Amino acid sequence: MRVRTAVAVGVVAALLFVSVAVYFAASVNILGNPGDFSPSNTSWNGLSTLVQTEHATVLSNVSSLPPDGAGYVLLEEGPFSPYTSVQAARISSFVSSGGTLIVADGQDAIANTLLAGMGLSSRFSGGVLTDPLFNFRNSFLVVAPTTTMYNVSSIDFDYATTLTVSDPGAKVLAYSSDFSYLYPSQPGSSIASAPHGPFPVAAEIPLGRGTVYLISDDSVFINSMIHMGGNFNMLKDMASGSVFVDTSHLAANPATVARGFELAVYSAASLWEFKYSLVIVGVAAIMAYRFASAPSQTDREVEAVALEHPEWDLERLRKLKEELG
């Protein structure tokens, strides 16, 4: 009897939990500010401004790219996970058919896996770009003062890296200043012995009928940076077409996981099969609980005897009844 009661209470608790989860998912903005570089993140580190101004389409998988890339632009900003050979081949085909690819990455240089998979030899160096003179606020917020792009006088960076540009036909679009250097990564290393600029920080690489743009900062188009310096004008120059933003390589933080669970619960709860099943399970749980709570034949007999002899111990009567069967 106690087991049945526990089961019934557990089912009721589970139903209550699901109901609260569904209510919460339906009552809050489950797509709000999920993480770095997210198109739906309206905070300083999101891409919502870019998506709104460019009317961009969000992709969860590069397999959804159109087979003919002409007139389309794909943005890969701040990748967190490496690219597979299949993904790199799909993006390479997209560019070769006439598409434009913009890759903005920083010190983690994860995008090098994409470049390698596409057969390109240019790379993100991974070093930390520093400039004590051409910067805003501090030497890690570098301003690249030299560009060859139309209507882009300078580019503002937030903890950027540098590029090594070595593909045939590639063209460097922007350099850091002569005063820039790569911040020493080894303890005890001096600034004097560190590599000094100018360094390539933006480049254009032809691939088939399309173009690959490399930008050495994964934060260059986030909400807090897109209107700094000439960043927005650089985006307009590069993104001449319908823009896709790939989210398949973004990092998943706890908020993203939680919202994903909420969205899954809400989607499941919207199905009529789930709603009817919930009603059936609820009715069954109530019946099971009432059955478990109802006194058994033994309990009724013992209670009847106890009413006639109130001086007798009720618990002893139950044990005696159980022993006698």
Calculate mean pLDDT across residues 101-105: 98
Whole-angstrom Cα distance, residue 149 to residue 170?
14
Question: H helices within the chain, ranges in order?
Answer: 2-27, 48-54, 85-96, 112-117, 231-238, 254-269, 272-293, 297-308, 314-324
Higher pLDDT, 179 or 314: 179
pLDDT band at 154 (very low <50, low <70, confident <90, very high): very high
* Average of per-residue pLDDT across 290-313: 62
Q: Which residue in 102, 123, 120, 103 sits closest to 112, CA to CA?
A: 123
CATH 3.40.50 fits 48-252, yes or no: yes
- Residue 30 has what pLDDT? 43
Q: Check residues 26 and 151 and name the one with the higher pLDDT.
A: 151
Residues of the chain with CATH 3.40.50: 48-252
Q: Is the pLDDT of residue 41 over 70?
A: yes
How many Å separate Cα 311 from the centre of its chain?
Answer: 70
Q: Are 66 and 177 in contact (CB under 8 A)?
A: no
Query: What was the pLDDT predicted at 13?
Result: 58
Find the angle CA(6)-CA(12)-CA(17) to the nearest 5 degrees.
Answer: 120
Q: DSSP letter for 176, please.
A: -
The reported pLDDT for the residue numbered 175 is 98
Rounded to an integer, what distance in angstroms lies between the CA atom of residue 150 and that of residue 234?
A: 8
Model confidence at 149, in pLDDT bands (50, 70, 90)?
very high
pTM over 0.85: no
